[in-house]
């Protein structure tokens, strides 16, 4: 079996694609401009790498895609579902209604249908209030016109009974066609943030299913009969069905793909990854080959959420960054972005960019002309970039120990090879398409993040329960049963609560199911 696979990563500026064989050798790569209708950019990238690699359409087994559909839909408030947001927790929680802190236009875009109904649990799993099934049914009927439901119950990460039951009642009342998002499958403790993430997920299911259908059709047209996977923001893959149910997990999958790809290309399993793009540089951390997660609430479209997101710091420096000499020499955050080939001096434009400096210094050779730039300015700009990158690398570290640093992305040339605080600096081959490599080599994963009361079961039992559930989630996402391993177990005792509460996070990952 050849196992040819294509990895495609859609970024704000470029769509990158690679073809890899079953031994993860890279056969072809390309960088093409991202198009407004994302699909046509993907198809042209696909055509280029197929052509270059000599692999034919019918030899492809897998196509992996990292996209920005979901992120764009939230930012642009486009194509979002009208959502029935149901919270189970009364008489508690009524002092802060759902969507209270959402931007008005985003809340309006999902229809502003909110309800707080009886039910929920305490932190130790005791009942907070009974679920009132007649009240739930009446509310569902009142939300008759919504496109999707988002259900969040108090302490559902401890006990999901009420969310599960409400989902059953929705099925009974409105049938099988309306998507339902339940919060315990999306986020962790922190009701508002978990509810926000669940409502956003419910709002995105139509966008996700349209995007997925468009790709499946495009593949069919090209005569490609391959398995299609989507990249998710923990650096692993999910099946098309899974992606349609959990579109929120595709948000920020791009930086995660870069972290995975950089780790793979450099063979650095633990360290700091610097991905230099056209407009920004993303600094992230890799732990045992996977992106480190952020420990604080992350905002999506100005809404606070608490589901797992990669720990990434973005700084406004990239190949298209505008160089200013007004007040000392500075680089960015203004950028010519995707207009580099029109506006940068090396392409005959009027704007001095970071790329122009390197062309002037002779380190790269692109464009139509060599800008005339004072060597002192080049030196000062390089120092500026070095300082900013060094500072963010330092912030991503967890201690003063020097760690390996891997530099990838199209603008890698801007960052010097000797970075303070780095034990070694790697600029691996194929650095410019690390994100597409990252999605092409990705595994399929499942996660669990729950609170257990060790009064009810012992510690081993609780961890085994979490491991089993994480494995089931990985299988549901499309992993091969024989290859699934537990890759991470994290245990946080919640010692300020009685009842021996402990929060257990487990991640399982495996190869793609054949």
- Collapsing DSSP states into helix, strand and coil, what is residue 19? strand
Residue holding tokens 């080049």? Answer: 378
Residue holding tokens 């007004």? Answer: 326
**Closest CB to another protein among 154 and 474?**
154
d(CA 31, CA 438): 15
Q: What is the CA radius of gyration of the chain?
A: 24
Residues 6 or more apart whose CB falls under 8 angstroms from that of 76 comprise none
Q: Tell me how far, at minimum, the Cβ of 473 lies from another protein, in Å.
A: 22
**Closest CB to another protein among 129 and 209?**
129
Both tokens of residue 364?
Answer: 């790269």
Q: Tell me how far, at minimum, the Cβ of 396 lies from another protein, in Å.
A: 7
Count of alpha carbons within 13 Å of 443, Cβ hemisphere only? 21
Cβ burial, residue 182 (10 Å; 0-12/13-18/19+): buried
Residues 6 or more apart whose CB falls under 8 angstroms from that of 21 comprise 2, 3, 4, 5, 27
- Collapsing DSSP states into helix, strand and coil, what is residue 331? strand
Kindly state the greatest CA–CA separation across the chain: 76
Q: Tell me how far, at minimum, the Cβ of 255 lies from another protein, in Å.
A: 19
Q: Tell me how far, at minimum, the Cβ of 300 lies from another protein, in Å.
A: 17
Q: Tell me how far, at minimum, the Cβ of 327 lies from another protein, in Å.
A: 14
**Closest CB to another protein among 179 and 284?**
284
Cβ burial, residue 48 (10 Å; 0-12/13-18/19+): middle
**Closest CB to another protein among 122 and 173?**
122
Residue holding tokens 């959502």? Answer: 83
Both tokens of residue 60?
Answer: 């492809």
**Closest CB to another protein among 90 and 413?**
90
**Closest CB to another protein among 221 and 496?**
496
**Closest CB to another protein among 165 and 397?**
397
Q: Tell me how far, at minimum, the Cβ of 495 lies from another protein, in Å.
A: 4
Q: Tell me how far, at minimum, the Cβ of 92 lies from another protein, in Å.
A: 4
Judged by the rule CB under 8 A, the positions of this chain that interact with another protein are 89-97, 100-101, 120, 122-123, 126, 128-129, 154-155, 189-192, 296, 391, 394-400, 493-498
């Amino acid at each position: 079996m050849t196992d040819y696979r294509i990895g495609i990563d859609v970024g704000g500026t470029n769509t990158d694609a690679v073809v890899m064989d079953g031994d993860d050798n890279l056969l072809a790569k390309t960088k093409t401009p991202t198009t407004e209708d994302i699909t046509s950019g993907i198809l042209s990238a696909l055509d280029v790498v197929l052509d270059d690699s000599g692999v034919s359409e019918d030899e492809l087994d897998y196509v992996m895609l990292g996209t920005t559909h979901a992120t764009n839909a939230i930012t642009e408030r486009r194509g979002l579902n009208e959502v029935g947001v149901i919270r189970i927790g009364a008489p508690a929680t009524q002092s802060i209604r759902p969507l209270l802190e959402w931007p008005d236009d985003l809340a309006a875009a999902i229809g502003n249908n909110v309800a707080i109904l009886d039910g929920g649990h305490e932190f130790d799993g005791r009942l907070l209030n009974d679920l009132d099934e007649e009240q739930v049914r009446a509310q569902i009927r009142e939300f008759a016109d919504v496109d999707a439901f988002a259900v969040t119950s108090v302490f559902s990460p401890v006990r999901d009974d009420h969310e599960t039951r409400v989902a059953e009642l929705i099925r009974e009342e409105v049938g099988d066609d309306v998507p339902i998002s339940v919060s315990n499958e999306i986020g962790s403790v922190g009701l508002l943030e978990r509810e926000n993430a669940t409502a956003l997920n419910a709002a995105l299911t139509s966008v996700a299913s349209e995007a997925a259908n468009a790709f499946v059709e495009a593949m069919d047209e090209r005569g490609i009969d391959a398995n299609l996977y989507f990249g998710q923001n923990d650096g692993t893959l999910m099946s098309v069905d899974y992606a349609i149910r959990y579109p929120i997990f595709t948000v920020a999958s791009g930086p995660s793909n870069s972290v995975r790809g950089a780790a793979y290309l450099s063979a650095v399993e633990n360290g700091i990854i610097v991905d230099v793009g056209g407009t920004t540089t993303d600094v992230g951390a890799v732990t045992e080959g996977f992106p480190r997660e952020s420990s604080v609430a992350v905002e999506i479209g100005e809404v606070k959420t608490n589901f797992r997101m990669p720990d990434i710091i973005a700084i406004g420096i990239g190949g298209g960054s505008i160089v200013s000499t007004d007040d000392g020499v500075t680089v960015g955050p203004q950028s010519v972005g995707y207009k580099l080939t029109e506006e940068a001096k090396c392409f005959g434009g009027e704007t001095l960019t970071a790329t122009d400096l390197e062309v002037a210094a002779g380190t790269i050779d692109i464009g139509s002309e060599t800008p005339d730039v004072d060597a002192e300015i080049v030196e000062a700009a390089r120092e500026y970039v070095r300082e900013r990158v060094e500072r963010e690398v330092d912030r991503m570290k967890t201690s003063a120990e020097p760690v390996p640093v891997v530099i990838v992305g199209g603008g890698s040339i801007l960052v010097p090879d000797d970075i303070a605080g780095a034990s070694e600096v790697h600029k691996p081959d194929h650095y410019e398409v690390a994100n597409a490599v990252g999605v092409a080599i990705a595994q399929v994963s499942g996660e669990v993040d729950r609170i257990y009361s060790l009064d009810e079961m012992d510690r081993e039992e609780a961890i085994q329960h979490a491991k089993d559930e994480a494995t089931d989630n990985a299988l549901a996402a499309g992993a091969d049963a024989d290859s699934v391993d537990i890759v991470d177990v994290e245990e946080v005792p919640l010692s300020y609560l009685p009842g021996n509460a402990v929060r257990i996070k487990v991640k399982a990952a495996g190869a793609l199911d054949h």
